Amino acid sequence: MTTEKVTVTAPSGMHARPAGELVKLVKSFAPAKITICTEAKEVNAASMLSILSLGLKCGTEAEIRVEGGDEQAIASAVAGFIRNIKD
């Protein structure tokens, strides 16, 4: 398992549009298992509703966990996507 920490920098945080795009990205890495974790919760990154349930606001730190496949490259791609969310 590989992990990478990321801080949400988008002023509006993670909302529906970027969450949907993130799910598409995550599903492209199947069959790797990707989870997003905060201090309060851990969710499957392949579920838009689960991602939205994290309530990722600007400044929130999350951890990306990847099992299977090219773990480091996948973790970097997912973290990079979250870092670069535009409103």
Q: Give the residue numbers marked as catalytic.
A: 15
Residue 6 burial (C-beta neighbours within 10 Å; 0-12, 13-18, 19+): buried
Q: Which secondary structure element, helix H or strand E, spans residue 60, and what is its range?
A: none
The number of beta carbons lying within 10 Å of the beta carbon of residue 82 is: 24
